[in-house]
Structure 1
Amino acid sequence: MWDERYSKQEFVYGTEPNLFFKEQLEKLKPGKILLPAEGEGRNAVFAAKLGWNVSAFDLSLEGKKKALKLADENKVTIDYQLGELPKLDYQKDQFDVIALVFAHFNVKIRSNYHKLLASYLRKDGFIIIEAFSKKNLEYRIKNPKIGGPRDLESLCSIEEFKRDFKNFDIIELEEKEVELNEGLFHIGIGSVVRFVGRKK
């Protein structure tokens, strides 16, 4: 599905960073950042332009091609790997920040992925997450252009983030209605969960 979506000529989620991610990253001193499920690279390129050492991964070769093209156009470098998280060679305590922007992993692996990602974060490092909430299903029915998973179990909740990131101080954790304007597939009003935590 993702290769098909990303094979379009246009950047399907746009080339500008996600606004919540942008707002949070601009508060932090640049270091090493990991961006899982990074797709076409809009957030990775933004981070690199701020001076971050950027690592990213996705399952989509087409997404990687467009991300590297966008990086080249912006005269920055990103390390972009293809594959599933457990098979990639990231290390414990490697990163200062990990950011999940609409990275909706399959529910069977999601909790394990969250915990594995947390292990890659150094002490006092930050996790930044914006994900569609379970309420977004109602918004999607009214307006399919808002995007997001079509099934309830693939959507996220505050309780899930509290459970999966127990060893984090919560800086921000809320479910809220937002208006998105990201390319072709995140258009309109939807419901998200936003989480910023610092690893203890």
Structure 2
Amino acid sequence: MSRPDWNARFSESEFAYGTEPNSFLAENANLLTTPVLSIGEGEGRNAVFMATQGLKVHAVDGSSVGLGKAERLAASHGVTFSTEVADLKDFEPQPTTYGGVVSIYAHLPSVVRGKLYPLLVQTLKPGGILILESYSEDQLNRSTGGPRELDRLLTCDKIESELVGLETVLLQEIDREVVEGKFHTGMASVIQFIGRKPV
């Protein structure tokens, strides 16, 4: 299966991954402090949720169509956030800028993670929190969502070696039911990570 054309996927009237926030993020959003950087934000479901919690959010995605839908979803909820269309392989956030960084199902090849992940650590303010959920390598055995390329899927070992400089609050691989639109639905193998930048 080839990787999706994100503008094409997001051009449908329905929301590809629903309009409700990722449940792992929702359960832990109280750890975040403003402003928050959300990478691979897509159609805005997580940014809208965080904005409704009073957080200032900067949403970054490679799809202008997705971020356009994100802005409309925000308007329907009476909130706003800033957006930026950027290819994550070229994205360079400013150091010591954000109280939180969120990466929900942003499945990047290792060569991109190798450049971007250190920048995500650097962009956090001291004490800032990074929240990540991704499909794990074991998800290849399932047909409930995610890329079909091993290099884009995570393990706990990959997190520990690639997100250096954060204190681990939570790091686990679990199987859980994911219900997020038609592309992420069913029992799934996921990596969940919460890291804190030392003060």
- The two structures have a TM-score, normalised by structure 2, of 0.94
In the alignment, structure 1 residue 6 sits paired with structure 2 residue 4: no
RMSD of Structure 2 on Structure 1 (CA):
1.3
Shift of 1:35: 0.2
In the alignment, structure 1 residue 122 sits paired with structure 2 residue 98: no
Equivalent pairs counted in the alignment come to 194
Task: Note the 1:170-181 alignment, pairs <5 A.
Answer: 170-181=168-179
1:58-85 deviation per Cα after TM superposition (whole angstroms, max 9, x unaligned): 1101101100000111111110100124
In the alignment, structure 1 residue 113 sits paired with structure 2 residue 116: yes
1:126-148 deviation per Cα after TM superposition (whole angstroms, max 9, x unaligned): 010000000000012xxxxx110
2:73 paired residue among 67, 70, 73: 70
1:181–1:187 contact (8 Å) kept in structure 2? yes
Shift of 1:180: 0.7
In the alignment, structure 1 residue 150 sits paired with structure 2 residue 148: yes
Residue of structure 2 in register with 1:182 after alignment: 180
Structure 2 CA distance for partners of 1:133 and 1:88, relative to 1, 3 Å = closer
Shift of 1:116: 1.0
- The two structures have a TM-score, normalised by structure 1, of 0.93
Shift of 1:112: 1.4
Amino acid at match of 1:9: S
Structure 2 CA distance for partners of 1:108 and 1:185, relative to 1, 3 Å = same
Shift of 1:117: 1.1
| Separation in structure 2 between the aligned mates of residue 125 and residue 148 of structure 1, nearest angstrom | 28
Residue of structure 2 in register with 1:93 after alignment: 96
**What's the secondary structure of 2:169's corresponding residue?**
strand
In the alignment, structure 1 residue 103 sits paired with structure 2 residue 118: no
1:30–1:50 contact (8 Å) kept in structure 2? no
| Separation in structure 2 between the aligned mates of residue 109 and residue 59 of structure 1, nearest angstrom | 14
Amino acid at match of 1:20: F
1:30–1:51 contact (8 Å) kept in structure 2? no
Shift of 1:178: 0.7
**What's the secondary structure of 1:127's corresponding residue?**
strand
1:132–1:192 contact (8 Å) kept in structure 2? yes
Residue of structure 1 in register with 2:25 after alignment: 21
1:130–1:192 contact (8 Å) kept in structure 2? yes
Residue of structure 1 in register with 2:85 after alignment: 82
Structure 2 CA distance for partners of 1:18 and 1:88, relative to 1, 3 Å = same
| Separation in structure 1 between the aligned mates of residue 80 and residue 172 of structure 2, nearest angstrom | 33
1:87-116 deviation per Cα after TM superposition (whole angstroms, max 9, x unaligned): 556311100010100001122211211111
Provide runs of 4+ in structure 1 moved above 2 Å.
Answer: 27-30, 84-90
Residue of structure 1 in register with 2:192 after alignment: 194
**What's the secondary structure of 1:111's corresponding residue?**
helix
In the alignment, structure 1 residue 133 sits paired with structure 2 residue 136: yes
